[in-house]
């Protein structure tokens, strides 16, 4: 790292931090997602994959910056956007002499970026912003019915459940990031109800992970009619064989271990075949890289930023 800067804030004891990874003429800011950190962009081996977005950007001559959000679990998306991300963009301008030209965001980071742009537009430190890359972003919110495989009525009950809990606590759960990412969240709804929910003067590149068990294609992708209504002229989206993030150990515990135990307990062949099939499907998830370490995905969006 070339330098590290603290981003002050009044709503959390954990300060956000901005890391300067490499110098270059085109300033790119990398933003992580929920329950994560800037380390997802750095060189480190995960399941045998050591591909690093930050390292590749540095080798290509970009000015690379990494943001660590102040509270990526219980934080408020509005605060994370208007304080953490906005101040990060201002610091980049101060220390590089240039405004941010591209933002690359994973998961919740994409919602934070979209929120900031919806409020500020192309002004101040975002005046030169040309590109936003969205990696497995829950653009339409995370569906509990998908994630938990329960009945649709669960989502309908959530606002009432939240209300009861809030009446017994001092902090509004509806302002926490984990609630604001749900499809019933007012933040998600307002973002997508705006006439220009994607700024028309910015190029948007939306990458979807085909093996994502957290943000399905239906949540991440924008429909043709949505884009036509929005009027955005520079937009591309593509599906990649990738996961949301690494979760191989959990999947191994849930599928591989029962398979081995099944062999030992002498279960019928049909049951073993079914479990084996699950194991093979899981192996596919394990082998597929998280979208932020997908070389194929990186090659797709970086060629646009190089133009």
Residue 160 lies in a domain: no
- pLDDT the model gives residue 257: 47
Same domain, 226 and 267: no
Query: Has residue 153 got a pLDDT over 70?
Result: no
In this structure, are 88 and 205 located in the same domain? yes
Tell me whether residue 122 is in a domain: yes
Angstrom distance (rounded) from CA 129 to CA 188: 22
Q: Which residues contact 82 (CB under 8 A, 6 or more apart)?
A: 115, 116, 119
Model confidence at 15, pLDDT cuts 50, 70, 90, reads confident
In a domain, 167, yes or no: no
pLDDT tier at 207, thresholds 50, 70, 90:
very high
Co-location of 227 and 257 in the same domain:
no
Q: Are residues 135 and 253 in the same domain?
A: no
For the chain, where are the E strands, in sequence order?
3-7, 16-22, 27-31, 63-68, 102-106, 131-135, 203-209, 235-240
Predicted TM-score (pTM) of this structure? 0.80
**Residue 209 shares a structural domain with residue 270:** no
Confirm whether 83 is domain-assigned.
Answer: yes
In the chain, the percentage of residues whose pLDDT exceeds 70 is: 71
Using alpha carbons only, what angle is made at residue 141 by residues 136 and 143, rounded to the nearest 5 degrees? 105
- Domain match, 261 and 199 both: no
Residue 179 lies in a domain: no
* 264 and 232 both lie in a single domain: no
Could you list the residue range(s) of the whole structural domain that residue 283 is in?
247-289
Going through 121-183 in order, the beta strands assigned E by DSSP cover 131-135
10 contacts 46 by C-beta, under 8 angstroms: no
Number of domains in the chain: 2
- CATH number assigned to the domain comprising residue 200: 3.40.50.1820
């Amino acid at each position: 790292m070339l330098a590290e800067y603290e981003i002050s804030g009044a709503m959390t004891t954990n300060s956000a931090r901005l890391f300067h990874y490499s110098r270059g003429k085109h300033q790119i800011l990398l933003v992580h997602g929920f329950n994560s950190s800037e380390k997802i962009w750095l060189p480190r081996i995960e399941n045998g994959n050591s591909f690093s977005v930050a390292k590749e950007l540095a080798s290509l001559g970009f000015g690379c910056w990494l943001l660590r959000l102040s509270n990526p679990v219980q934080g408020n998306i509005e605060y994370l956007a208007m304080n953490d991300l906005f101040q990060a963009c201002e610091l980049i301008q101060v220390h590089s002499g240039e405004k941010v030209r591209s933002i690359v965001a994973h998961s919740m980071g994409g919602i934070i970026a979209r929120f900031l742009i919806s409020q500020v537009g192309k002004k101040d430190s975002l005046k030169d912003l040309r590109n936003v890359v969205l990696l497995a972003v829950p653009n339409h919110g995370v569906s509990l019915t998908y994630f938990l495989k329960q009945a649709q009525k669960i989502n309908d009950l959530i606002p009432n459940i939240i209300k009861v809990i809030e009446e017994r606590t001092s902090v509004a759960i509806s302002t926490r990031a984990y609630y604001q990412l749900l499809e019933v969240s007012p933040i998600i709804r307002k973002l997508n109800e705006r006439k220009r929910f994607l700024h028309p003067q910015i190029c948007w590149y939306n990458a979807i992970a085909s093996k994502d068990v957290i943000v399905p294609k239906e949540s991440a992708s924008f429909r043709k009619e949505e884009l036509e209504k929005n009027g955005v002229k520079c937009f591309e989206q593509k599906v990649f064989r990738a996961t949301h993030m690494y979760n191989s150990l959990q999947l191994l515990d849930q599928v591989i271990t029962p398979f081995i135990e099944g062999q030992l307990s002498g279960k019928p062949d049909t049951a073993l075949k079914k479990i084996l099939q699950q194991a093979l499907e899981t192996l596919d998830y394990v082998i597929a890289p998280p979208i932020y370490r997908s070389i194929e995905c990186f090659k797709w969006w970086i060629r646009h930023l190089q133009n």
